[in-house]
Amino acid sequence: MKIRAGYEIAYDCPQPTPMILTLSVHPSRTPDLVTWDRLRFDAPEPVVANTYHDTFGNFCHVIEAPAGRLTISNDFTVRDSGEPDVVPHGARQHTLGELPVEVLIFLLGSRYCETDRLSDIAWSLFGQTPKGWPLVQAICDYTHDRITFGYQYASRTKTAFDAYSERRGVCRDYAHLAIALCRCMNVPARYCTGYLGDIGVPVDGAMDFSAWFEVYLGGRWYTCDARHNTPRIGRILMAHGRDATDCAIVTSFGPCTLAGFKVVTDEILPA
């Protein structure tokens, strides 16, 4: 299947403002691109200062937004298998000594995933749950039931412990809480952001970028989604990292105001 994806995001800047953008498709999905994934700017002159791959392999752009309004946009087509997320029944949980060294960082606490504050809670809830996929599924079930979804509950400072305590949030809060609980139970987990449309499900409201997470079991990473808690079709990964800090679509180094935001993810049906 083919999916058309893209966005149009506008910022008002009172002065020239440096930014890091993590808005490109993740390099692992580059071979699937049918048309080029290219950022466009409506500025009168070029604003891109540098491009690079960060520590986690995400593709990033360094720009200087001019004073006034800057609109960033993209429109591309990507090929997808059309298969739902894999459910790895029977996937084994590794001991610490078996894990690749590059995976170990995803067992540690991070800015939004405070394993120190949630460790006792996690072990009291899941200490008797069989290890591996049954443990991960139990954590997804718990997080899905624990948090009430609502865009009005969004907060850029909310952590996993906050989401646990407040029992409300948006997709990133589901991901942060599930990630923190997995790490507390010695399951490596990393945060993901990208496109997720309503392909194969009833209309899911206005389109937005989505957050989910991945766990390392049986020698590979598997997709998990505590918010929807069911396999979905058509995910397009943009970035992954320890938590939302590593995957922020825009990080600004100066004052700016979001003036417009639109995301598109639509299946291209045969003529």
Q: What would the pLDDT profile of 141-153 be if each residue is shown by its tens digit?
A: 999 999 999 999 9
Structural domains of the chain ordered from first start: 2-81+249-268 (2.60.40.2250), 96-241 (3.10.620.30)
The total of other beta-carbon atoms located within 10 Å of residue 46's CB is 9
Does the pLDDT value for residue 205 go beyond 80?
A: no
DSSP three-state, residue 261: strand
Of 106-110, 136-140, 200-204, give the lowest mean pLDDT range.
200-204
> Which DSSP helix (H) or strand (E) runs through 184?
helix 171-184
Asked whether the predicted pLDDT for residue 49 surpasses 90, the reply is no
For 146, the 3-state DSSP assignment is helix
Torsion of CA 34, 35, 36, 39, to 10 degrees: -130
Which residues does 97 contact at the CB level (< 8 Å), separation at least 6? none
Task: Give residue-wise pLDDT tens across range 64-121.
Answer: 999 999 999 999 999 999 999 999 999 999 999 999 999 999 999 999 999 999 999 9
Which residues are CB-contacts of 224 (< 8 A; sequence separation ≥ 6)? 85, 136, 140, 178, 189, 212, 213, 214, 215
Mean of pLDDT over the chain:
95
Beta bridge partners of 73: 8, 40
Task: Report the alpha-carbon distance of residue 236 to residue 90 in Å, rounded.
Answer: 26
